[in-house]
A and B are shown apart, each in its own frame.
Chain A
Amino acid sequence: MAFGPFLLLALMEGLVTAAVLALAAAGLSLVFGVMRVVNVAHGEFYMLGAVLAWAVTTMIPGPPALAFLAAVLIAPLLVAALAAAADGLILKRLNYDPEATIVATIGLLYILQQAALSLYGPNAYPVTAPFEWRIQLPWFGYSGYKLFVVLAAELVLLGLWLFMTRTRAGLIMRATQVDRSTAQAFGVNVDRVYMGTFALGAGLAALAGVLIVPIQQAQYLMGHDPLLLSFIVVIIGGLGSLRGTLIAALVIGLSDGVISMFFTPTLAKILATLLVAMVLVFRPQGLFGARA
Chain B
Amino acid sequence: MTNTLLHPTRRGLLMAGGAGLLTAALPGYVAAQAAPIKIGFQLHRTGIGAAYGRWYERTAQAALKAINDAGGIAGRPVEILFEDDATDPKRGSEVVDKLTQSDGCDLVMGTLFSHVVMGSAPRAGELKVPYLVCSEGYHVASGALNRWTLQPGITDVRAQISTMAPWVSQNLGKKVTMVFPDYAFGHDHRDFFTAAIQAQGGEVIAQIAVPPTETSFTRYFPQIPAETEVIYHVMVGPAVLTFVKELGEFYGTGAKPALFGFIDSLEAVDTATPGLEFLEGSHFWEAHPRVKATDAGEHEAAYRAAVGVDDNGASVSDAADVSTYSHMFSTWETLYFIKQAMEASGYTGPADRQKLVEAMEAITDLPYGIERPQGAKRFNGKTHQVFGSQHISQVQGGKLVKVHTTTIDEGLYEDAVDYTTMSF
Q: Which residues of A contact B (CB under 8 A)?
A: 1, 6, 9-10, 13, 17, 117, 121-124, 126, 128, 132, 134, 136, 138, 140-143, 215-217, 219-222, 225, 257, 260-261, 265-266
Q: Separation in Å of the B274 CB from the closest CB of chain A?
A: 6
A134 & B218 in contact (Cβ 8 Å cutoff): no
Q: Are B254 and A140 in contact (CB under 8 A)?
A: yes
Contact among B211, B219, B238, B273 for A219, CB-based, below 8 A? B238
A–B complex contacts, Cβ < 8 Å, 8 sampled: A9-B218, A123-B268, A124-B51, A141-B252, A220-B46, A225-B215, A261-B219, A265-B211
Where chain B touches its partner, the secondary structure class is loop
A216 and B242 form a contact (CB under 8 A): yes
Nearest CB on A from B143, distance (A): 30
Q: Which residues of B contact A215 (CB under 8 A)?
A: 216, 242
Complex Cα–Cα for A117 and B250 (A): 33
Q: Report whether B251 and A1 are in contact in the complex, using a CB–CB cutoff of 8 Å.
A: no
A217 & B239 in contact (Cβ 8 Å cutoff): yes
Least CB distance, A170 to chain B, in whole angstroms:
33
What chain B residues lie within 8 Å of A257 (beta carbons)?
219
Beta-carbon contact of B226 and A1 below 8 Å: yes
Which of B238, B251, B254 interacts with A124 by CB under 8 Å?
A: B238
Interface positions, chain B 245-283, Cβ under 8 Å from A, are 246, 248-254, 268, 273-275
CA distance A101 to B239 in the complex (A): 33
Is A9's CB under 8 angstroms from B222's CB? yes
What A residues does B248 contact at CB under 8 A? 141
Given A126-B273, A132-B275, A141-B252, A221:B215 Cβ within 8 A:
no
Nearest Cβ on chain B to A11's Cβ, whole angstroms? 11
B247 to chain A, nearest CB (A): 10
Q: Check: B409 CB closer than 8 A to any chain A CB.
A: no
Min CB distance A213 to B, Å, is 11
- Give which listed residue, B54, B239, B246, B252, contacts A123 with CB less than 8 A: B54
With contacts A13-B218, A222-B215, A260-B219 known, is A123 near B226, CB below 8 A? no
Q: Does B45 contact A (CB under 8 A)?
A: yes
- Assess A122 versus B219: contact at CB under 8 Å? Given A136-B253, A217-B239, A219-B238: no
- Are B249 and A123 touching (Cβ within 8 A)? no
Contact A13 B216 (CB under 8 A): yes
Q: Are A123 and B250 in contact (CB under 8 A)?
A: no
Q: Considering only CB atoms and an 8 Å cut-off, how many residues of chain B contact the other chain?
A: 33
Find out whether the CB atom of A265 lies under 8 angstroms from the CB atom of B214.
yes
- A265 vs B219: C-alpha distance when bound (angstroms): 8
* Cβ contacts under 8 Å, B239 to chain A: 124, 216-217
Are A136 and B252 neighbours in the complex by a CB distance under 8 Å? yes
**B224-244 interface bits toward A, Cβ cutoff 8 Å, 1 = contact, 0 = none:** 001000000000001101100
Task: Tell whether, in the assembled complex, residue A140 and residue B242 are in contact, meaning their CB atoms are under 8 Å apart.
Answer: no
- Tell me if B238 and A123 are in contact (CB < 8 A): yes
- List B residues 16-56 near A (Cβ within 8 Å): 45-48, 50-51, 53-54
- Nearest Cβ distance between residue A1 and chain B, in whole angstroms? 5
B211 touches A266 (CB 8 A): yes
Asked whether A143 lies within 8 Å of B222 as measured between CB atoms, the reply is: no
Q: Give the top 10 A-B pairs by smallest Cβ distance, nearest first.
A: A141-B252, A124-B238, A122-B50, A122-B46, A260-B219, A136-B252, A1-B222, A143-B249, A261-B219, A216-B215
The one of A10, A132, A220, A222 in contact with B219, judged by C-beta atoms closer than 8 angstroms, is: A10
B249 in complex: contacting residue of A17, A117, A141, CB < 8 Å: A141
The answer to whether residues A134 and B249 also contact, given A10-B219, A117-B46 and a CB cut-off of 8 A, is yes
Give the residue name and chain of the A residue nearest to B54 (CB). Answer: A123
Docked CA distance A137–B47 (Å): 37
**Chain A residues within an 8 Å CB radius of B51:** 123-124
Q: How near does chain A come to B15, taking the closest CB pair, in angstroms? A: 59
Taking a contact as CB atoms under 8 Å apart, the answer to whether A140 and B215 are in contact is no
Cβ of B274: which chain A residues have Cβ within 8 Å of it? 128, 132
Supplied contacts A124-B241, A140-B252, 18 more A-B pairs, CB within 8 Å: A9-B218, A124-B51, A132-B275, A136-B253, A136-B254, A141-B252, A141-B254, A142-B249, A215-B216, A216-B239, A216-B242, A217-B238, A217-B239, A217-B241, A219-B238, A225-B215, A261-B219, A265-B219
Cβ contacts under 8 Å, B275 to chain A: 132
A68 to chain B, nearest CB (A): 14
Smallest CB separation, B219 vs chain A (Å):
4
Nearest chain B CB to A45 CB, angstrom units: 18
Q: Which of B48, B214, B222, B274 has the most A CB atoms < 10 Å from its CB?
A: B222
Contact A141 B250 (CB under 8 A): yes
Distance in angstroms between the alpha carbons of A10 and B219 in the assembled complex? 7
The contact string, 1 if C-beta is below 8 Å from chain A, for chain B 376-395, is 00000000000000000000
Known: A123-B50, A266-B211. A140 touches B219 (CB 8 A): no
Check A126/B241 contact, CB under 8 A, given A6-B222, A261-B219, A265-B211.
Answer: yes
**Least CB distance, B226 to chain A, in whole angstroms:** 7
Contact mask for chain B residues 47-78; partner A; CB cutoff 8 A; 1 contact, 0 none = 11011011000000000000000000000000
Residues of B within 8 A of A265 (CB): 211, 214, 219
In the complex, how many angstroms separate the beta carbon of B327 from the nearest chain A beta carbon?
16
Chain B hits for A1, CB < 8 A: 222, 226
Give complex CA distance A88, B61 in Å.
46
CB neighbours (8 Å) of A128 from chain B are 274
How many whole Å from A142's CB to the nearest CB in chain B? Answer: 6
- Closest residue to B215 on the A side, CB-wise? A216
- What distance in Å separates the Cβ of B332 from its nearest Cβ neighbour in chain A? 22
CB distance from A271 to the nearest CB of B (A): 15
Contacts of A217 in B (CB 8 A): 238-239, 241-242
With both beta carbons as reference points, the residue of chain B lying nearest to A212 in the complex is identified as B215
